[in-house]
A and B are shown apart, each in its own frame.
Chain A
Amino acid sequence: MTPRVAPTAATARMTIAALAACLATWLAVAPVQASLSSPPFAVSIDVAPDGAGNRVAVRVEARPAQATPELFDLYVLQLQGFQQALFLTTSGTWSTTPVSVQRGLSASGFAPIAVGWTDARFGSMHTMVIGARTATDPLVRSNWLFRPILSNVQLRARQVDDPQRSAALLVLGLLGALSAIAVAVVLRLPWNRRQVSENK
């Protein structure tokens, strides 16, 4: 019903117009500047399966930005939904009460901080790193000095650690075979194409 579109010289203009339209959409939902400044540190998280679970290592490195005279305490939190959190201790356990992994840090620079834990769970979890005024409650937002850093941690298992690996491989092989059959069937469709062409 719709007229088919032939390539015309207007294509370039259309693309530009589309980009402009998308840019307008983007700008409409663009990020606004939060009143908290960007954190003077970067966070990297490494996850390494160790058979029974995963060893998670959090490394925080200074990234000096603006001169913030106030000292801050660093907290690593595990989010429990949007309302609650647990705190990582330096010994790698989780606490329900606020515990910092390093106190009295200066925004102008500090030695890299490495903390971690071993997690026996699988799935996803979310961590948040907070820099709060030293010796204050990190759960009170007005004590935050910088924007927190949210991270998603994927806790995955490996096939090699599966105690019934052969059973798992059998299932995967079966699914692979069925997928291959489905692909083959679809690639050969429509079967009557030749016949249709001959009839014409």
Chain B
Amino acid sequence: MRLTRLIRAHPDGASVVTLIVLPLLVFGRGLMPGRVLSSADVLFTTYPWRGLAPGLRPANDLLTDPAHLFQPWLIYAVGEVWQGRIPLWNPHVFAGSPFFANPQSALMFPLSWVALIVPIPSAFALIAILKVAAIGLATYCFLRMRALHPLAALMGAISFMWSGFVIVWLQWTYAATLIFFPMLFASVECLRIRPGRRAIALVALTVALGVWAGYPQGLALALAAASAWALWRARGAGVPFLLRYAAGVALGLVLASIQLLPFIEYARLSAVLATRETWMAPMSASFRSAISLLVPYYYGSPTGGDYWGEWNFNETAISVGLAPWLLLALALIARRPGAWFFALMAIVSGLRLYGVGPELANAGPLVIGFRIAPLVVFPLCVLGAMGMDTLLSEPEPERLWPRHRAAIKIAFVALVAVVFVWFIADYATMRRLGLGTVSPARYLWFLALFATSAALCLIGASRHGFAWALGLIGVQFASLAPLAWSYNPVIDARLLYPTPPALVRLQQEVAEAPGRVLMAPNLAMLYGLEGVAAYDGMTPRHLNEAIRSGTSALNLLGSGYVGEVSIFLSPVRDLLGIRHILVPPDVVLGGPGLSLRYQGVDGRIYRNETALPRAFMAAEARCLATAEALKLIRARAVDFRREVLLTDCSDATPGDRSPSGDVLSPGTARIERYGADRVTISAESERGGYLVLTDAWFPGWTANVDGRETRVERADHAFRAVKLAPGRHEVEFRYAPMSVRLGLALSALAAIVTGALAWPRAVRWTASPSSAPALRDEHA
């Protein structure tokens, strides 16, 4: 009673507290001493970590990207920032690659900054908590702006923040971008209800934060949906409203320039885009897998190790709980403002998601078909909230009660029938898979919660008060909680990137004989090593072509990793300066220059004596077309030590092979100082030549020879070189890309404009009676 009184007195406050406390309860385990929210235990399926704990089974072996990519990136970025550097470049992967330019590094996003002030193990959990809470709060904000009852808005917020899609992608940057689906809709509402400068500024800030959140493709989808919503809401407001919205979006994109411009530059030079432009696999699941919308574990789960559905669990898990399926019919029957918009959005997106129609699931070269799922999930949650609001706010329940009752009952019976028929059809298969007991239990869990939801909805349809609504919200949370609780594991902190003996030895070997290492993708960056094997969702195209293009690998989405085997077999292995190779204990390497340096239960380390130094002088140079250079490299017809192949060269004549220095003694080069974005080399040559640095070539790298700016040539297809005159020189390579500088200038300019628009006037954004006319306008 006290609780209901409190909620009645402060509904918004109580809702906000609920939306913050629930994520804290679910993921707060990760804040406990000795615990960490991480899937880093997946490393223990691979060497050298496997040697530390043979047989350890990861809690969720599907969460490889967070363990191999996102969490190492965050650790690396925090380390760099604490040392006073902005991590524009990552020298530890791919022979160097843009770091800041990859939007998934999300350096500009405020939630990433949590890791700067909180210890890393706690930061992982805190970021997850804040992400989920922010998604809930943004959804609540939008629904309240639509003047929904606080409890209905709470239902919508809980449905979206705990939806399957949010939970399974929680440790990816897409989950952060999901905050801006409801935020964009809310900013459209602001603009519609209170048109003015500040609303335009809000749209701009939302768009910019959405870009910075780390998954611009996701924001593009959100913008498409929000723009459609703006069109819908333009009725009665006309063209000026749309122009204001367009201005806000444009300003937001300019505000995000500091991230967008480097991203576009990297995307244009990425292997992923080049691959997907030839053909993007139309990723979709069959319509029958949509049953997991109602029963999340219908096809098992990776945490249970019994998944038997299509593709993988992450791609198909988009459940929104059970209550929205009963409530959405009410929203449509009652013709709630915007209900049909969200219904059509869900239907159209759902058809695309489930591949209905030929090749309809292909959403362009950058967006994987499955990633349009939020365009299904979000409207379903909104419709559920609208349906609940219908029950909570109906002034004459008796008049509408029969229709509501019928709708709820029909929805309940129809969906139970669908799930049961599905279950009958699949039960023989489940039994063959050894799921004869667990599958009926999952069905019963669904039935119990769905029946309870229906009962509470029916009670809500016939009675005043809102105790039933609290119960329904509780049941809705219960239907989503098992996935939320179990999917993102909280592990022993000792499993977070430990250092096996093989890695200790590898560090010693590198100290003794500097050079790159070949080991598990991406993780060299955590151990102060410089590796090549990597993936980052984009992949530098030139390096990929030098190493992997032409090798036999499926790489369906183009974002597969540049792996150890392809690097080892590639014609540029020695050129890359790979001096140390870490392999599993049962792998034996042979070949000229390879010698075994370490053997243990966690792996073997070989030293490659034929590796070239990271920087050296080449006596000869040839200027060739890209295809010709690649052909020679792949044919292993180039002596890299002696000759450098230049592409897009400045002053060499194509085909010119005349030596620019003494072939027998081309000169010496020594790396004096090596930093992520600055490399200083002293070089000496009697007759001049080309200084080759086998770090990845990329726009933005400049070179100063004895203080004079000199053009950086693209050497041997993927690396850097500068021409040197005879004598001794000091060469400094610096990474200061124009895309970042220009982006910074544009962002600063847009920030001033946004600030000016937002300056002072106090405006209340919360739902108020004055917003009702705006909603009524929709039906005028």
Contact = CB atoms under 8 A, between A and B. Distances in A.
Contacts of A63: none
A29 B553 contact: no
Interface string B449-482: 0110011001100110000000000000000000
A28 B227 CA distance: 10
Contact of B462 (A154, A158, A190): A190
Given A10-B780, A83-B553, A157-B431, A2 B348 contact: no
Interface string B239-281: 0000000000000000000000000000000000001011111
A159 B427 contact: yes
A112 interface: no
B253 to A, nearest CB: 15
13 contacts: A4-B334, A18-B344, A19-B344, A21-B344, A26-B352, A84-B553, A122-B308, A124-B308, A139-B552, A142-B550, A144-B279, A183-B416, A186-B454
Max chain B C-beta neighbours (<10 A), residue from A5, A8, A19, A82: A82
A135 interface: no
Contacts, number: 241
Given A5-B336, A157-B429, A186-B458, A172 B308 contact: no
B221 A154 contact: no
A31 interface: yes
B424 A172 contact: yes
A84 B554 contact: yes
Contact of B427 (A13, A77, A171, A193): A171
B681 to A, nearest CB: 36
A18 B458 contact: no
A144 B554 CA distance: 12
The 7 closest A-B pairs by CB, nearest first: A28-B224, A123-B308, A21-B228, A157-B428, A182-B451, A139-B552, A29-B363
B674 interface: no
Interface of B: 146-149, 220-221, 223-225, 227-229, 231-232, 235, 275, 277-282, 285-286, 288, 308-312, 334-337, 340-341, 344-345, 348-349, 352, 359-360, 362-365, 367, 372, 375, 389, 392-395, 398, 409, 412-413, 416, 420, 423-429, 431-433, 436, 440, 443-444, 447-448, 450-451, 454-455, 458-459, 462-463, 549-557, 560, 767, 772, 775-776, 778-780
B452 to A, nearest CB: 9
Contacts of B359: 31
A176 to B, nearest CB: 7
Given A3-B775, A175-B440, 19 more contacts: A1-B392, A2-B337, A3-B772, A10-B780, A22-B344, A25-B345, A26-B348, A28-B223, A29-B364, A29-B372, A30-B363, A141-B555, A157-B428, A161-B428, A171-B440, A172-B427, A175-B423, A178-B447, A185-B451
A36 B279 contact: yes
A7 B147 CA distance: 20
B451 A2 contact: no
Nearest to A29: B363
B290 to A, nearest CB: 13
A176 B420 contact: yes
Given A28-B224, A139-B553, A140-B550, A1 B279 contact: no
B550 A24 contact: no
Contacts of A168: 427-428, 431, 436
B351 to A, nearest CB: 10
Nearest to A31: B362
A24 B348 contact: no
Nearest to A123: B308
Nearest to A141: B278
Contact of B557 (A24, A36, A82, A152): A82
Contact of B345 (A22, A122, A126, A171): A22
Max chain B C-beta neighbours (<10 A), residue from A147, A152, A155, A179: A179
Interface residues of A, number: 80
A172 to B, nearest CB: 6
Contacts of A11: 335
A189 interface: yes
Interface in A34-71: 34-36
Max chain B C-beta neighbours (<10 A), residue from A25, A142, A159: A25
Contact of A123 (B146, B425, B427, B429): B429
Nearest to B362: A31
Contacts of A154: 286, 288
Contacts of B281: 148, 150
A159 B431 CA distance: 10
Given A2-B336, A29-B352, A157-B428, A122 B552 contact: no
A25 B458 contact: no
Contacts of A155: 429
Contacts of B362: 31-32, 34
A91 interface: no
Interface of A: 1-8, 10-11, 13-15, 17-22, 24-26, 28-32, 34-36, 77, 79, 81-85, 98, 122-124, 126, 137, 139-142, 144, 147-148, 150, 152, 154-159, 161-162, 164, 167-168, 171-172, 174-176, 178-179, 182-183, 185-187, 189-190, 193, 196, 200
A5 to B, nearest CB: 4
Contacts of B235: 13-14, 17
A2 B552 contact: no
A63 to B, nearest CB: 13
Given A21-B229, A175-B420, A152 B372 contact: no
Nearest to B343: A18
B450 to A, nearest CB: 8
Given A17-B235, A186-B409, A126 B310 contact: yes
A156 B426 contact: yes
B334 A124 contact: no
Contacts of A161: 428
Nearest to B394: A4
A82 to B, nearest CB: 4
Nearest to B400: A4
A183 B427 CA distance: 21
A25 B224 contact: yes
Contacts of B454: 186, 189
A122 B772 CA distance: 55
A146 to B, nearest CB: 9
Contacts of B552: 98, 137, 139-140
Contacts of A84: 553-554
B549 to A, nearest CB: 8
A5 B779 CA distance: 7
B428 A162 contact: yes
Nearest to B230: A21
A25 B779 contact: no
Contacts of A122: 308, 429, 432-433
A75 B716 CA distance: 34
A34 B279 contact: yes
B4 to A, nearest CB: 18
Contacts of B395: 4
A29 B224 contact: yes
Nearest to A80: B554
Contact of A18 (B232, B389, B436): B232
A14 B777 CA distance: 12
Contacts of A150: 281-282
Given A10-B780, A141-B278, A32 B364 contact: yes
A36 B281 CA distance: 12
A123 B309 contact: yes
Contact of B310 (A1, A18, A124, A139): A124
